[in-house]
Amino acid sequence: MKPLIAVGGRRFPAGWVKAWPHEEAVAAPSPYINALRRGGADAGILQPVPMGPNELGDLLTRFDGLVLIGGPDVDPSLYGRDQHPECYGIDRDRDDFELALVRVAIEREVPILAICRGIQLVNVALGGTLDQHIVDREGLIAHGVPERGEGVSHPVELEPGSLVAKAMGVDRADGFSHHHQAIDELGDGLRAVGWTEDGVIEAVELETGWLLGVQWHPEETAVFDPAHQGLFDALVEQATG
């Protein structure tokens, strides 16, 4: 039987999907699902609803791994900061659900692949903070502008021997990014293993346990780039074991 990977879903208000003018929707972009299927797994999309730790634990027993996908910003109050004017799309219910989900998944040693917003969420879940707006800052390269749909490719230097480098089979990757926030202070138990030339953290892993976090969007290039597909393959392999 194929491993089953949980994918954190994003909520859309009624009317966002034209065919459902009166219904809220929960979805995940198909590139994430397609990359998991190429890796040999099936996927189930999770609806972000309030759950206690025991309920989340019961939910995760049905899955072999977890993917945290991209999306809007995490509520800055969750890491003790006032909201920057450029923050957008905050969904506190999704934040609360995914933060609790991450903590339970780590406690239960469920393998995790965290992408873009996902890496930021993991960092906040473990007590870290975020830099809320890095766009057009002097000394930083372009990292894309998500709310305008603008993406850029840039090199990422990976720590040789890190889980991310092993999964990708390279020590230098070209990541396709569109993020205006980034990790500031690292959360407890996380270590940085990938950076752009300007020093922005682009990849993390746990000091103990199996978690890959990347700030770019490997799902968008995995269909033609084996290095980026390797991140999904590594998750599936870990989930299978």
**pTM (predicted TM-score):** 0.96
Tell me the per-residue pLDDT of 39-52, one tens digit each, with 9 for 90 and over: 999 999 999 999 99
Annotation marks residue 116 as catalytic? yes
Catalytic residue among 98, 116, 220, 228: 116
List of domains in the chain: 4-240 (3.40.50.880)
Annotation marks residue 24 as catalytic? no
| CA dist 70 → 2, 98, 140, 172, 238 (Å) | 25, 12, 21, 22, 22
Catalytic residue among 154, 219, 220, 228: 219
Catalytic residue among 143, 179, 217, 228: 217
Tell me the per-residue pLDDT of 109-139, one tens digit each, with 9 for 90 and over: 999 999 999 999 999 999 999 999 999 888 9
Annotation marks residue 133 as catalytic? no
Report the C-alpha gap between 209 and 198 in whole angstroms.
28
Q: Which of 31-40, 112-121, 139-148, 181-190 has the lowest mean pLDDT?
A: 139-148
